Structure 1
Amino acid sequence: MKLLNQYGLHDMEDERWNAYGQSTFVYNYHPAFSAKYTNFGGSTNSLTPKAEISFTGTVTGYFGVKLWDGGHVYLAPEMISETPFSGLKGLGGSIQNFELQKNGTEQPTIYLSRAYLRQTFNLGGERIKLESDPLQLGTTVDGNRLVLTGGILSVLDVFDKNIYSGDLRQQFLNMSFLSFAAYDFAADARGYSFGVVAEYYLDDWTFRAARFLPPQNPNQLDLQWSTLAYYGDQYELEHRHTLFGRKGAVRLLFFHNHENMAKFSDAISAYNNSGGAENATACPAGAFSYDNQNPTAPDLCWARKPNDKFGGGINLEQAITDDIGIFFRGMYSDGQTEVYSYTSTDRSISLGTLISGGLWDRKKDLLGLGYSQGWISGIHAQYLGMGGIDGFIGDGKITQKPEQVVDLFYSYNVWSSLWVSADYQFIAHPAYNADRGPVNVVSGRAHVEF
């Protein structure tokens, strides 16, 4: 795009169209680690203590077209190939590679990740230039404006943005730094959904509200196409500020899911009240289950009905110098119901720093150090301790502890649009279980933009 702009063939300040792309390859390895037990009693969601490798490869195209003043349409076809650790089982909020998808395979899969229309209504105030970028046409908008978006996209395309922890193709690899680990936002197994979003910008403030469709079954591809029967709502208030001459932002987010999901207490009650007959190996025909092979364990398949999940969190970012920024996220969800679209976490925090290589005359390099911690509720732990499994976790037994992650990486800019990264992660108490781990993960990443 820049080359066309240089020769006067493309106006990047008032684009009628643009096209970008990216490709990322991630390789992970964890050596053998200690575990008092694995898949105890026939439960099936443990991370294997044997050494493993994992990889993902993605290619994404980003296309934007201006239809009329303020009306833009965006498309993003994507391809992924992947092999996870242990079938993507055994880690709660600390999945070591954010690119991994629940139903991904080593065979490359092509799909349309995004297809949506965005309409901006300018309402006055300071004129602001929006730079040309993937999923953003170069244009100028009013500081006060209403923006409506509808179509196929990710909740995280709009909500819970953080410039120091969010673009994990360039930054941290661990999924706990992509968003709040406890943010069970509505999405299919690939992380996308159909939704409508309204954003109101007023000077340094923005208020966002949205409704997205959840999947028909937890962490699966098919969506529930009824915005009144089942839905995921989110609301966010953002304030951008300048502190000691440095930019920062504070975001408060609240979500409410109404989905066909099970409460842990109901699954336990179904098991106890039936004398163990309603167990994990005897789920009713047609009921969705995770195929737990533990006959003495409760199962969520016996308890699914319309239920609600609530959560709220705070997201902070702050520049310290031109080359150093810090971030913090913290979220509390009610912890009463199963994971439906994201990670098996009920409360979470993450914090850290991102440092630009400008400090050592390599401006496009990045160095990052982050820490995250996740918790599960008491009733969630009781259910897992009885041998139940929930989405990504369930060792058959549990000695409950917070799951903790340290993520350290360095991204080296080889040339203008190619980066290679080395990443180390230390994961304590995988799946919130002190009887297993710690797990060391070493990773390499290659990322190119075009």
Structure 2
Amino acid sequence: MFRTFINTTLQARRGALWIAIVAGCFGTVTHAADVVGTPTAADLPDDRATLPRMSPSPESTDTSEDRWSAHAQTTYVWQHKNGFSAPYAGPQSLTPAAERSYTMTFTAYLGARFWKGGELYVNPEAVEGLPLSHLFGLASINNGEIQKNGGVKPRGYYARAFLRQTFNLGGDAFHVDAGPNQLASNYQRERLVVTVGKITQTDIFEKSTYANDPRTQFLNWSMITHGAWDYAADARAYTIGGAAELYWDDWAVRVGRFMEPKIANGPKLNYNIGRYHGDQFELEHDHKIGDLPGLVRVMVFRNRAFAGNYRDAINAALVTGGAPDVTSVRKDASKTGYGLSLEQSVADDVGVFFRASKADDKVEEYAFTEIDDVFSGGVFIKGTRWGRPNDTLGIAFSSAGLNRDHRDYLAAGGVGGFLGDGQLTHYGRERAYEIYYNFQIIKGVQISPDFQQIDNPGYNADRKGPVRIFGARVHLEI
């Protein structure tokens, strides 16, 4: 226990050092040129540190536009998993013993405007982290900041480098204040937005107000986007491609094509985007119930990749003997799926969300996680009612499942990207519950205790747990 305490203290000091370095050498700077515009009423709250939804700035009277800007964030997440009883373990099982995990990220958001409607952004990023059980044993993975090819030494790279071009087409004008990957700008309600370059697809698609960003909201992978959406990405969750968004009155339509990795969960992208790609189509409708805003989104997606088929792997193992290996039967294959998303303000300081998604996962998980169907939902509460309007409380759940071919593959001893208990005699849906409370210490500094419980880890009712994970997150925006 003393060794655990010392290790935890050292990690906390390392996190504090990162924050001190960032705070001491990186500030927020903007350069503005006056442009006439007319702000409109406030939209749904949005404080995410990724690409914004370009919602009108609440009660803004400023109509100036930035020519360039720089912002930064750093986030430290520490988690402890309690031990749980399990009758057996396989090559890729969640360890029954107690474990600790952590991540530390730093991102700089650099933006510039070179012509009317054109915005260029570059995001240098550094990350380090230690996953639970080498990132094996869960489909509803506990930390959205963890990366598949991370390590305990900081690694730097370019997370995003993209161009966003907005074509205003008419309607009411509104102003959007500056933020990460957002120059202070004036837009029109009816507009076409084209994004080209390196991003993560959750920057644009299924961009939930309440459950999208693990740096300020829910941490669990099954709650930050559609769990069954095997969205094209490298091992760090970034990809290259393009998307177009058309906003017209209360409607929005989005389409996009992005690169798949060369191999499942691999760090390198396949630049043959004509042959291997992830395609998305999303339709969104904003509405109001009384004066309370809400929206509905429907997504359809199709992935084309060099991927193995679970049933082919099972049949091959019946001939050759041994456990099936999905990596040995890879060929050009497609995967299709869909997702439904709802979110609604039920009071000025309370919002709810619901998601459901399903994929035709006869082929292996390629870029996200081993979930074939899932539904999730939750509630988001501002601290206004107890005198802390800048605090937030989030409570959510998810229930994830596998299709028959995927279950049979694991039952026969196969291993996937994350799962492999050696057998799956008694299947059970993997259920996750999470609650966090976001304290704003001062503007730009947040501390969030977090608790998760996961039942039937790896869909294995014999190793049902429950798995309990206690955590804390420190988030700094500059």
TM-score norm. by structure 1 comes to 0.92
**Match 1:54 to one of 80, 101, 106:** 101
SS in 1 for 2:282: strand
**Are positions 1:361 and 2:361 aligned together?**
no
In 2: Cα distance, 1:45 partner to 1:113 partner: 29
How many residue pairs get aligned? The number is: 422
* Alignment check: 8 A CA contact 1:246 1:318 kept: yes
In 1: Cα distance, 2:344 partner to 2:410 partner: 38
Partner of 1:281: none
After the TM superposition, which residues 18-29 of structure 1 pair with which residues of structure 2 at under 5 Å, given as runs?
A: 18-29=69-80
Q: C-alpha displacement at 1:336, in angstroms? A: 0.8
**Are positions 1:447 and 2:472 aligned together?**
no
* Alignment check: 8 A CA contact 2:63 2:175 kept: no
**Are positions 1:383 and 2:409 aligned together?**
yes
After the TM superposition, which residues 290-329 of structure 1 pair with which residues of structure 2 at under 5 Å, given as runs?
A: 296-329=322-355
Q: C-alpha displacement at 1:138, in angstroms? A: 1.1
Any idea what the Cα deviations from partners look like across 1:386-422, whole Å, max 9, x if unmatched? 0001101110111211000110111111111111111
* Alignment check: 8 A CA contact 2:30 2:68 kept: no
* Alignment check: 8 A CA contact 2:335 2:362 kept: yes
SS in 2 for 1:181: coil
Partner of 1:207: 253
Any idea what the Cα deviations from partners look like across 1:156-190, whole Å, max 9, x if unmatched? 11000111111221111212111011110000000
In 1: Cα distance, 2:165 partner to 2:30 partner: 26
Bigger relative contact order, structure 1 or 2 (CA pairs below 8 A, ≥6 apart): 1
* Alignment check: 8 A CA contact 1:20 1:61 kept: yes
SS in 2 for 1:362: coil
In 2: Cα distance, 1:416 partner to 1:71 partner: 30
Code of the residue aligned with 2:472 in structure 1: it is: G
* Alignment check: 8 A CA contact 1:270 1:302 kept: no
Partner of 2:82: 31
Q: C-alpha displacement at 1:3, in angstroms? A: 8.1
Partner of 2:455: 428
Any idea what the Cα deviations from partners look like across 1:332-357, whole Å, max 9, x if unmatched? 11121110000100001110001011
Partner of 1:70: 117
In 2: Cα distance, 1:415 partner to 1:136 partner: 22
Change (3 A) 1:67 1:361: same
**Are positions 1:372 and 2:398 aligned together?**
yes
**Are positions 1:180 and 2:226 aligned together?**
yes
125-134 vs 433-442, which moves further: 125-134
Change (3 A) 1:208 1:4: closer
Partner of 1:415: 442
In 2: Cα distance, 1:392 partner to 1:140 partner: 44
In 2: Cα distance, 1:205 partner to 1:412 partner: 34
Q: C-alpha displacement at 1:270, in angstroms? A: 1.3
Code of the residue aligned with 1:21 in structure 2: it is: A
Code of the residue aligned with 2:444 in structure 1: it is: S
Partner of 2:58: none
Q: C-alpha displacement at 1:275, in angstroms? A: 3.3
- Listed as ranges, the gaps of 5+ residues in structure 2 are 1-26, 35-61
SS in 2 for 1:144: strand
Code of the residue aligned with 1:55 in structure 2: it is: Y
- Listed as ranges, the gaps of 5+ residues in structure 1 are 277-295
After the TM superposition, which residues 262-281 of structure 1 pair with which residues of structure 2 at under 5 Å, given as runs?
A: 262-272=308-318, 274-276=319-321
Partner of 2:40: none
SS in 2 for 1:107: coil
SS in 1 for 2:65: coil
After the TM superposition, which residues 280-295 of structure 1 pair with which residues of structure 2 at under 5 Å, given as runs?
A: none
**Match 2:375 to one of 345, 349, 365:** 349
Any idea what the Cα deviations from partners look like across 1:230-260, whole Å, max 9, x if unmatched? 1100000011111121011111011100100
Code of the residue aligned with 1:258 in structure 2: it is: R
In 2: Cα distance, 1:118 partner to 1:267 partner: 43
In 2: Cα distance, 1:410 partner to 1:367 partner: 5
In 2: Cα distance, 1:373 partner to 1:182 partner: 11
Partner of 1:292: none
State, as a whole percentage, how many aligned pairs show the same letter: 41
Change (3 A) 1:3 1:62: closer
Higher helix share: 2
TM-score norm. by structure 2 comes to 0.86
Partner of 1:438: 466
After the TM superposition, which residues 181-196 of structure 1 pair with which residues of structure 2 at under 5 Å, given as runs?
A: 181-196=227-242
Partner of 1:96: 142
Code of the residue aligned with 2:129 in structure 1: it is: E
**Are positions 1:405 and 2:432 aligned together?**
yes
In 1: Cα distance, 2:120 partner to 2:418 partner: 35
Partner of 1:17: 68
In 2: Cα distance, 1:216 partner to 1:435 partner: 35
After the TM superposition, which residues 97-136 of structure 1 pair with which residues of structure 2 at under 5 Å, given as runs?
A: 97-136=143-182
* Alignment check: 8 A CA contact 2:78 2:471 kept: yes
Q: C-alpha displacement at 1:2, in angstroms? A: 8.0
SS in 2 for 1:302: helix
**Match 2:130 to one of 83, 103, 108:** 83
